[in-house]
Structure 1
């Protein structure tokens, strides 16, 4: 009986710690958020919404590229990211990765715009451990900028 009770508590705790991410239908997105999103991305297709506390996140496609945008409850765009190919990385970044992370393979690359500044998010696959980097266009690691999953 104690094991069952502990299992229920653990499951409840885990679901609570799901960081509040919740898929929501578009009709539950506040109009100010939806209007700001539509204005910023008028050609978005296959839009899916999530709510995390008082933030809204839309995942969508535009021109066959995956995008994600995060907006606050007032409709302000906080950050946007989209997939880019390894070949689209600036030469300085490719050089830095080749020199500093030679044992890793580039797995995923995204271009993030946050507060008017562009960053490259790069996920590197390693033999024993993967790495997530946030770099500026010159290849300098930005440790004060969080990797956005």
Structure 2
């Protein structure tokens, strides 16, 4: 019974995600958004656009293994930016928190998430027994964490 409930929940979440996100061609993106995007990221490659609710989302690359996701409002304002970053670019406070609170874990993936002019760092940490997904603010405070 538990498996059926879990399957129902997962299927429902997938259906809701698909229903709320729709791939669109670049020609369907308003020019105010395209102009802002191309001005901010002139070297973007492999762009994929989606409409999510009232926002436009673009996934793209700016170099080897440097992936981005940006959400724009219909007016062309950047709402959210998620970018992969090298671990060496993490603030010292974030690195210190990882080494103290997650001793023995290695950073597998690091992303900077910027919303409302505020950045946080989403880290995938690999360990022997568990893997963690941890959100840490620039001062090193753990905002959220979950076993992955």
Structure 1 length-normalised TM: 0.74
- Give the corresponding residue for 1:108: 109
Question: 1:25 aligns to what?
Answer: 25
1:38 corresponds in structure 2 to 38
What secondary structure is seen at the aligned counterpart in 1 of 2:32? Answer: helix
Instruction: Tell me the equivalent position of 1:135.
Output: 136
Count of residues in correspondence between the two structures: 135
Aligned-pair CA distance for 1:53: 1.0
RMSD: 2.6
Q: CA deviation at 1:129?
A: 4.6
Deviation of the 1:137 alpha carbon: 2.0
SS of the equivalent of 1:18 reads helix
Q: Which has the larger radius of gyration?
A: 1
Kindly state the Cα deviation for residue 77 of structure 1 after the two structures are TM-superposed. Answer: 0.3
Give TM-score, length-normalised by structure 2: 0.75
Q: Distance in 1 between matches of 2:37 and 2:13?
A: 31
In the other structure, the counterpart of 1:6 is none
Partners in 2 of 1:13 and 1:94 — Cα distance? 37
For 2:15, the equivalent position in structure 1 comes to: 16
Q: Helix, strand or coil: the match of 1:96?
A: helix
Aligned partners of 1:96, 1:15: CA distance in 2, in Å?
34
1:72 matched to 2:105? The reply is no
Stretches of structure 1 lacking an aligned partner (at least 5 in a row): 1-8, 144-149
Q: Distance in 2 between matches of 1:121 and 1:13?
A: 26
The structural deviation recorded for 1:40 is 2.2
Alignment partners' CA distance in 2, 1:29 and 1:93: 36
Q: Secondary structure at the match of 1:131?
A: strand
